[in-house]
Amino acid sequence: MSTDVAGPRTAFILSIGDELVAGEILDTNAMAIAAELARRGVRTLGHGTLPDDRGRIAGALVDAAAVADLVVATGGLGPTADDLTRFALGDVVAPGADLVEDEASASRLRRWFKARASRTVATNLVQALRPSGARMLANEHGTADGLLVRHGGATIVCLPGPPREMRPMLEGTLDALVPAGGGLPSGAVLACGLPESEAADRLGDLMDRGRDPVVGTTAADGVVAARVRAIDADEAAVRRDLDAVERAWAPYAFGRDGATPATAAGAALRRAGETVVTAESCTGGLLGGALTEVSGSSAWYLGGVTSYSNGLKRALLGVPDEVLERHGAVSAETAAAMARGALARLGGDWALSVTGIAGPDGGTPEKPVGEVWIGIAFGGDGGPRARVRRFRFRGDREVIRRRTVQTALVMLRLAAVRIGGPATVEPDPPLTWEAAGPAAEAPS
Amino acid sequence: MSTDVAGPRTAFILSIGDELVAGEILDTNAMAIAAELARRGVRTLGHGTLPDDRGRIAGALVDAAAVADLVVATGGLGPTADDLTRFALGDVVAPGADLVEDEASASRLRRWFKARASRTVATNLVQALRPSGARMLANEHGTADGLLVRHGGATIVCLPGPPREMRPMLEGTLDALVPAGGGLPSGAVLACGLPESEAADRLGDLMDRGRDPVVGTTAADGVVAARVRAIDADEAAVRRDLDAVERAWAPYAFGRDGATPATAAGAALRRAGETVVTAESCTGGLLGGALTEVSGSSAWYLGGVTSYSNGLKRALLGVPDEVLERHGAVSAETAAAMARGALARLGGDWALSVTGIAGPDGGTPEKPVGEVWIGIAFGGDGGPRARVRRFRFRGDREVIRRRTVQTALVMLRLAAVRIGGPATVEPDPPLTWEAAGPAAEAPS
C-alpha cells in the first residue's frame, strides 16, 4: 500500500514483549498510539502483541507493512539480551547485513552516562546500533533511541516501550510524518460529578447516529467526555456542538481536551485570586498531590496536613478529643473540624478536608468501606463556615481513594466558581456517589 | 496444533471492537486473560486487536486456531448492529449455514428482561443465536452469553467484552478445560535504586538464552524485575534462581511478585516496630499518598505535612527563616531542617523530607529542574540526626515527582533495614539519579 504525499492514511500497531504477551504488565501504548493517530486523521487497522522472538517480530513487521502505510512498534529496544526489535528490523529491511553503530547515538549514550557519573556499561552501546538505511529517533527521556525506516511503500517506526519515553518520540515523529491539520476537526468536552448515563441523556439529539458532526461519549475514571468529530462538517459546526455539550453539562463540565479536575479547580482559584489548603486522612496526601500536579500551583495551593492518626488530627488540626470520641474519625463533625482547623492553622481562603474508610479493613455496618466525608471551609466575612458532604464510593482501596480525590476537586471547583461552596446560597448540585440525604451546613 | 488430554498448552487472544482499535478505550481483557492462562500453565503466543468487521474477525479466528490450542476472543457479542463476532464464528465453523436460536439462552434472556420490568426488545434476542455445533456459555452478569466450539484441533471461546461479565465466564470455562495445578513454575524478584543495565550485568550467566529456567529482566517506572520461568525445570530450580537474583541485587532487591517500594518500606518498618512521618514540598503529598497505598499503613505511618509555601515550612515544621533565606528552599539545609522539624512536631521514629524543583518553571543554572534533596531523620539515643542526599531527576514534572517518591521510599526501606540510614554506620549504597558527591551527615 502506498503512502501519498499527504502522509500515511492507515496504520498498524505492534506491542513487543514477553511480559505483555504473558499478561504480566498492561499495554497502554497501543491505545495511546491509536488515539494519537486518530487525532491526526490516520486510521488504525489493528494491533498485535508478540513476544521477544526475533523471527516473530520480523514476520509481524512484514505483515503489518503489507497492509498499512505506517507501522508503529513499541518495545524491545533496550540494552538486554531479550531486546530484539532492532535485530528483527534489520532482518526485514537489510537482511544478511550487520547492524551499524550510529555515531550520534553512541556519543549521546556516552554523554548520558557521563552526566550521571556512571560508567558507560558496554551493554548499553547496543542501543546505538541500527539497520543500515534506518535512522535513529532521539530519546530525550531515556537511553533507547527509536528507529525509523521506509520499507516497500510503508514507514516502520520502532519506539521504546516505557510510555514516558514513547510518547514524546511518537509525537515528534508524527509531527514530521503527518502534515498538521490533516486531522478532521474534532474536540472534546469533559465533565465530572455526574454519571455517564445522565450525561448521555442530557445530550439528547446531539447523539443521534448519522448526524454530522458525530457526538459520542466515553467515561473513564469518573470523567465523562463528549467527543465531537466532523465527517464533512466544518470547524464552526464542531465548535457549535462543543458549546452545546458544555451548556447541557453545566455545572459539571470543567473544560476541553487536556483539562483535568485539578487544572480546572486551579484555574477557578486563580481567576478568583484565592488559595486553598488541605487536611487529609484516608487519601494520605493524594489530594495535595493532585493539586500540585498542576504546574504553577504554588500560586493557589499553600500546603496541607495529612493527619493519618487521631493524635495528629488533634495536634496538627486541633480536632477536639470529644469530637473524635463521640462521633469517630469518619464523621461529619470530624470532617468539619478538620477543614476549620486547616483554615485556622494553615491559612488560605478555602480548606478541603477528607476523612473516610478506604478499606479493605476498618468497615462496619454503619460505616462501611467506601464511606467518606468531604468538607470544605471558607473564611468569609462572617467568620469561617464549613459544609460537609457524605459519599459512598464503590471499588477497592485504590479506586475509593482516587474517586475521593476527584470528588473533592469537583467540590473545590464548584465552590471557587461560586456554585455550592459554603460562601454561597446556590444549591449544591448533586454529585455521583453521594450518599442519600442533603448536604448540610456542618454542625460545629 | 492438537490439544492433548491434559488440555490446551498454548493460546491466542483476540480483542474485538472498533473502539479498541481506534484507541478510544483501553483493553484490559487481553492482559487479564493471559495472566489467568499463565496461572493455569497455558502459554499465550500473542494477542490481536481487530475491528468490528465480519471478514477480519473470521480470518483472525482461523489464523489463531491454526497456531494455538485455545483461542479466546472478547467483544462483539452484544445486540447492536456492530456486534459481529457470532456471525464471523459461524462463517468459520459452519460456513453457509444460518445461526440457530439456542432455546435455553432465549428463555434466559426473556427472564432477564422480565425481572427488570423491561420489554424484551427484539434486538436483544440476537444474543441467543449461535452457530450450529457451538454451545452457549451462560452470562451471570449481563445479557450476552459466550460461545464455545471446537474447530480443527483447537477450541474457540468467545466471551463478552465488559470485564465483569468476561472474568467469571473465563474462569468457569477454563476450570472445565484446564485441569487445576497445571501452571508452570515462575516468579519474579523486584529491585529499585539501580539502573536496568547494571541489574542485568549483575545477573551474569543467569540471563543466558537457552537456559532453563529462563531469566529475563524488565524495567518500568524505576522498578527492575527479573522474571524466572521454568520450561522443563522444576519449582526448586526456579526458587534457586530467584534466590540467586535476590543475592545479586542486594541491597536493592525489595521483594517478590506483588511487592512495591511502598509495601517493602512498610514491611521493613513493621518488622522493626517503627513509625515514619513525612514533610513534603515538591511532591505535594504524593509520598504520603504512596505510603498509604498499603493497607494497614496506619500501623507505621502517622501522617505528614505538605509545606508547599515557605510560610508553612516555618509555621508547620519550624524551618528557620535564616536557613530559607541563606540556602533557599531547595537545599541540604532546608531538607535537613524539614526532616528534623517533622520528627520533633509529628513524632515517629523516622522522618522523610523532600524539597526540590519539579518544573517546568523555577529552575536556575545552579539548581536546575529535577534537583531534589531528600532527607531522612532519626530520633536515636544521641538525639535526632538527619542525613540528606541530592538527586538530579530527568523527565517532566510528573516523572520527577514520581521518581522522587520512589527514591524516598527506597531510602526509607534501606534505613529501616539498617543500611544507609542515619542511625547506622553502613555506607550508603549509591542510588540511580543521585547527583555527584557523597551523601553526608546534614549540616545543622
Instruction: State pLDDT tens for residues B263-306.
Output: 999 999 999 999 999 999 999 999 999 999 998 999 999 999 99
Please tell me the CATH code under which domain A186-256 is placed: 3.30.70.2860
pLDDT in tens, B48-66: 999 989 999 999 999 999 9
Name the pTM for this structure: 0.75
Backbone angles phi, psi at B56, to 5 degrees: -65, -40
- At residue B1 the predicted structure's pLDDT band, cuts being 50, 70 and 90, is very low
- At residue A285 the predicted structure's pLDDT band, cuts being 50, 70 and 90, is very high
∠ CA B207-B213-B214, rounded to 5°: 40
Chain A and chain B share a number of CB contacts under 8 A equal to 270
Backbone angles phi, psi at A3, to 5 degrees: -100, 120
| Alpha carbon B226 to its chain's center | 14
Sign of CA dihedral B242, B247, B252, B255: positive
DSSP per position, A290-352: HHTTSTTGGGTEEEEEEE-SHHHHHHHH---HHHHHHH-SSSHHHHHHHHHHHHHHH--SEEE
Of A21, A25, A79, the CB nearest to B47: A21
Q: How far is A106 from chain B (nearest CA, A)?
A: 16
Q: Determine whether B382 is exposed, middle or buried from the number of CB atoms within 10 Å of its CB (0-12, 13-18, 19+).
A: exposed
Q: CATH homologous superfamily for A261-441?
A: CinA-like (3.90.950.20)
pLDDT at B201 over 70: yes
| Grid cell for residue A310 | 487521631
Of A18, A49, A398, the CB nearest to B293: A398
Q: For residue B203, what is the nearest residue in chain A, using CA coordinates?
A: A80
Under an 8 A CB cutoff, do B304 and A305 touch?
A: yes
Distance (Å) of CA B39 to CA A22, B35, B155, B180, B218: 10, 6, 19, 9, 20
Helix, strand, or coil here: B374? strand
Under an 8 A CB cutoff, do A44 and B23 touch?
A: yes
**What's the pLDDT at B423?**
64
Neighbours of A434 (CB within 10 A): 18
Rg of the Cα atoms in chain A: 26
Query: Which of B218, B291, B349 to probe by mutation at the A interface, max A CB count within 10 Å?
Result: B218
List, in order, residues 6 or more apart from A116 with CB less than 8 Å away: B433
**What's the pLDDT at B441?**
47
Under an 8 A CB cutoff, do A46 and B44 touch?
A: no
Contact at 8 Å (CB) between A140 and B399? no
Give the integer Cα–Cα distance in Å for A420 and B356.
36
Q: How far is A418 from chain B (nearest CA, A)?
A: 25
Under an 8 A CB cutoff, do B278 and A306 touch?
A: yes
Sign of CA dihedral B414, B416, B420, B422: positive
**What's the pLDDT at A423?**
65
DSSP state of A241: H
**What's the pLDDT at A182?**
56
**What's the pLDDT at B319?**
96
Q: Between B185 and A268, whose confidence is greater? A: A268
Of B19, B217, B306, the CB nearest to A80: B217
**What's the pLDDT at B181?**
53
Every domain of chain B and the residues it spans: 10-177, 186-256, 261-441
Query: Which of B166, B197, B361 to probe by mutation at the A interface, max A CB count within 10 Å?
Result: B197
Of A47, A283, A346, the CB nearest to B21: A47
Under an 8 A CB cutoff, do B197 and A346 touch?
A: no
Kindly list the residues from chain A whose CB atom is less than 8 angstroms away from the CB atom of residue B10: none
pLDDT in tens, A163-222: 989 999 999 999 888 865 556 678 899 999 998 778 888 998 998 877 889 888 777 778
**What's the pLDDT at A444?**
45
| Grid cell for residue B178 | 484446564
- At residue A24 the predicted structure's pLDDT band, cuts being 50, 70 and 90, is confident
Helix, strand, or coil here: B281? coil
**What's the pLDDT at A260?**
95
Under an 8 A CB cutoff, do B303 and A296 touch?
A: no
**What's the pLDDT at A6?**
58
**What's the pLDDT at B162?**
86
Under an 8 A CB cutoff, do B305 and A302 touch?
A: no
Which strand (E) or helix (H) includes residue B303?
A: strand B301-307
Please tell me the CATH code under which domain B10-177 is placed: 3.40.980.10
pLDDT at B241 over 70: yes
Percent residues over pLDDT 90 in chain B = 67
When mean pLDDT is compared across A16-20, A189-193, B117-121, B415-419, the lowest value belongs to: B117-121
**What's the pLDDT at B5?**
44
**What's the pLDDT at A200?**
83
Stretch A433-440: mean pLDDT: 64
Query: Which of B47, B189, B278 to probe by mutation at the A interface, max A CB count within 10 Å?
Result: B47
Of A44, A51, A278, the CB nearest to B21: A44
Kindly list the residues from chain B whose CB atom is less than 8 angstroms away from the CB atom of residue A117: 436
Q: No. of H helices and E strands in chain B?
A: 14, 18
Q: Strands A276-280 and A301-307: what pairing? A: parallel
| Residue B441 backbone class (left: φ over 0; alpha: ψ -120 to 50; beta: rest) | beta
CA atoms within 13 A on the CB side of A137: 27
**What's the pLDDT at A350?**
96
pLDDT in tens, A384-427: 889 999 999 988 898 899 999 999 999 999 999 987 767 665 66
Q: For residue B201, what is the nearest residue in chain A, using CA coordinates?
A: A123
Q: How far is B110 from chain A (nearest CA, A)?
A: 24
When mean pLDDT is compared across A290-299, A423-432, B255-264, B379-388, the lowest value belongs to: A423-432
